[in-house]
Structure 1
Amino acid sequence: MSLVTTLTYVLPHRLLSSLARRLAYSRSPGLKQWLIDTVTRRFGVDLSEAAEPDPRAYPSFNAFFTRALKTGARVPDADPRALLMPADGHISQCGAIEGDRIFQAKGQSFTATELLGDATGAAPFANGLFATVYLSPRDYHRVHMPWRGRLLETVHVPGRLFSVGTDAVRNVPRLFARNERLVCHFETDFGPMAVVMVGALLVSGVETVWSGVEIPRYADAVTRKDYRRQSIVLDRFEEMARFNYGSTVIVLLPAGTAELASSLAAESPVRLGQRLATRVG
C-alpha cells in the first residue's frame, strides 16, 4: 500500500474536500488559470473537443472541469440494442455480480446491498451485471444515461472520501461501498437500473440535472428522495449528472437483461456513448 493510500485513513477527508472545493470555485483570475493550466498540461487535456476550447474563457476551475463537449464529440452506438457507456474514463472492473457480491480488485469485493444502502434496493441486481468506470482529471466529467429510464428515487449514502486511484482500489477494503455516494434508481423497459455516483478525496461534488447540487452537503445519515410522482424521464445518452471535480460511476443491471461488451476489461479506456452492453431477450 502506498504512503498516500495509508495517509487517507487518517486525513480529515471532508475538510480537505471542502478546501479543494473552495479552490475549484474560486474566481481569482490568477489562481483559477494556474489550476486550469496545470491540469491541462499534466494530464494532457484535449480542449479541442470542448464546446469552449479557450482555457482562459472559464470563470473558475470547476467550470473548466465540468466543461461541455462540442456537438458531435461523442456519439451513441448506433445499435438500438446497445446500452451505452455513461462516461469517459477507464474500466476499473466489470462483470457478473456473484449473488450480491461485486468484484473490486484481487482480494477485494463489496456487496450491492452495501453499495446501494439497503437490501431491498439491491435485490433486483442479484447475479446481474456491473461496470465501474473511473474518471481521471483529463476526462469529460458529465455522466449520461446508459438507457432510457424513469427516475424513481435517489439515495444519498454517507461515507468516507478515500482516493479511488488504482492503489486505493487494490488495497482499501470495500472502497466504493465506504465512500460518500449518490445512488440513482431508474425504471426501464427491461426492469430496474442503478447508476451510482461515487465521491472521492478532494473530488467529491455531485450534481444532477433534476435537482442540482446533491453532494456536498455531506450526509450523516442515509437520505432518500422519492421522484416517482414527478415523471422525470431521461433518454438514452442524455446527460443525467456531473462530478464537480471527478471520481467514479458504477452501473448495475439485472440478471438476464444484457451481455457486457466483449471488448471491456479492467483498465481498458472507454468513451462516453460506446457500447457498454447489449440487450438480450
Structure 2
Amino acid sequence: MIKYYNRQSKKYEIEQVAGDTYLNWIYSSPVGMTLLELLFKKKIFSKLYGNFCDRKASKKKIIPFVKELNIDMSCCEKKLNDFESFNDFFTRKLTPSARPIYSDINSIVSPGDGKLLVYENIDLNNVLNIKGYSYSLYDLIKNKETADIFKGGTCIILRLCPTDYHRFHFVDNGICSSTNKIKGDYYSVNPIALKKIPDLFFRNKREWCIFHSENFGEILHIEVGATCVGSILQTYIPNKSVKKGDEKGYFKFGGSTTILFIEKGKITIDDELIEQTNKGYETQVFMGEKIGKKI
C-alpha cells in the first residue's frame, strides 16, 4: 500500500499500483528475488517486452488497463480506439489545455505528472538516505565537475507510475546540452522495490544533461529507466532555445523517474511539498503546475 498526498484535495490517498501483486511477489519472495536478479532486471527482458508493446497485437491490453486503473482519457489527443499499440497509448500526448503551464517567469513548474519528493541544502555525498543507504550525486552521474555545481542545492524527485502521463518537459525557458547515457539495470522504481533495493537509482539505466535555464541557473536533468522501460527517448534538440513547458522527451512502458538538481540560492520550494516530504509522503503533482519560486 502506497499512501501519498493529493495536493488538490488536500487529502491522503492510496495509489493504484499496476501489477502490485506481481511487484510484491518479485521483491518479497525468495523465488521472485532470484528471478529478478537472473531475468527481470536485465536489459533483454525489458527490451523484449518493449518490442511487444510496440506491436499491433499489444492493442488488446489498452482497454483493460484503462478500465482497471480508471485512467482519464478525456484529455488525450487521440481517442481510445485510435492507438496503434500499447506503447502508442502509453506515450500518449495530451491536449494543450489539459496541462496549463504556470507562466510566471519567477516560478518553477513540475516537469511532469507523478509523485514528488523534494530535498533542500543537499550534501552531494548524501543526497537522500533510504534504509541507511546514502546516495552520492557523484555516483549517480559519474561526473564530479558537474556534480560540484549543485553542492547545497535542491533535489527534486518525480516518480511516474505506469498510469501516469509519461512525457517530461522543461521547467523554464533556456538551452539544454546534449544527453549523457549511463548503462545499468532495470529495477522497478516503485516504493515496493525501493524498500528492497535502496540503491536502485544508481544501479538503473539513466540519462543526464545540463539545462541552462533563463531564471534558475544551471539545472541537472536526470531520467532513470525501470523494469519494462524499453527506451528513454529524448525529443528535444540539443543547444537550441526552448520554452517553459516544451517537451524534453518521454519514457516507453513502465514506471520511471525524473530527477532535477538545482543550484544553491536559486529557488525556494513550496512549503506544502517540503512539509509532506519531511513527513515521508510523496505529493501528487501535474506537469506545468507551480512547485517553487525564484529567490
Q: TM-score, normalised by structure 2?
A: 0.82
CA distance in 2, matches of 1:149, 1:106: 37
Partner amino acid for 1:145?
F
Deviation at residue 152 of structure 1 after TM alignment = 2.0
The answer as to 2:136 corresponding to 1:111 is yes
- Look up the match of 1:233: 241
- Look up the match of 1:207: 233
Equivalent residues of 1:99, 1:126 under 8 A apart: yes
The answer as to 2:104 corresponding to 1:95 is no
- Look up the match of 1:23: 52
- Look up the match of 2:26: 4
**Of 55, 68, 75, the match for 1:49:** 75
- Look up the match of 1:220: none
Deviation at residue 256 of structure 1 after TM alignment = 0.8
The answer as to 2:193 corresponding to 1:184 is no
Name the % identity. Answer: 26
Partner amino acid for 1:179?
N
- Look up the match of 1:224: none
**Of 90, 104, 109, the match for 1:84:** 109
Equivalent residues of 2:182, 2:205 under 8 A apart: yes
Partner amino acid for 2:54?
Y
Distance 1:25 1:159, change over 3 A: same
CA distance in 1, matches of 2:129, 2:84: 37
Deviations 1:129-176 (A, max 9, x none): 011111111111110111122122311011111111111122313211
Deviations 1:85-139 (A, max 9, x none): 0010112x31122244221534333111111221111110111101111111111
Q: Which runs of 5+ in 1 are unaligned?
A: 212-226
Q: Normalized per residue, which structure has more helix?
A: 2
The answer as to 2:250 corresponding to 1:242 is yes
CA distance in 1, matches of 2:103, 2:217: 22
Q: Which runs of 5+ in 2 are unaligned?
A: 1-22, 28-32
Equivalent residues of 2:49, 2:230 under 8 A apart: no
The answer as to 2:200 corresponding to 1:175 is yes
Partner amino acid for 1:9?
E
CA distance in 2, matches of 1:44, 1:105: 31
Equivalent residues of 1:76, 1:84 under 8 A apart: yes
The answer as to 2:190 corresponding to 1:158 is no
Distance 1:176 1:130, change over 3 A: same
- Look up the match of 2:63: 37
Distance 1:204 1:279, change over 3 A: farther
Deviation at residue 22 of structure 1 after TM alignment = 1.4
CA distance in 2, matches of 1:108, 1:201: 21
CA distance in 2, matches of 1:108, 1:23: 36
- Look up the match of 2:287: 272
Deviation at residue 270 of structure 1 after TM alignment = 0.8
Q: TM-score, normalised by structure 1?
A: 0.85
Partner amino acid for 2:38?
V
Equivalent residues of 1:84, 1:273 under 8 A apart: yes
The answer as to 2:99 corresponding to 1:58 is no
- Look up the match of 2:30: none
Deviation at residue 2 of structure 1 after TM alignment = 4.7
Equivalent residues of 2:75, 2:95 under 8 A apart: yes
Bigger drift between 260-269 and 134-143 goes to 260-269
Deviation at residue 80 of structure 1 after TM alignment = 2.2
CA distance in 1, matches of 2:129, 2:63: 33
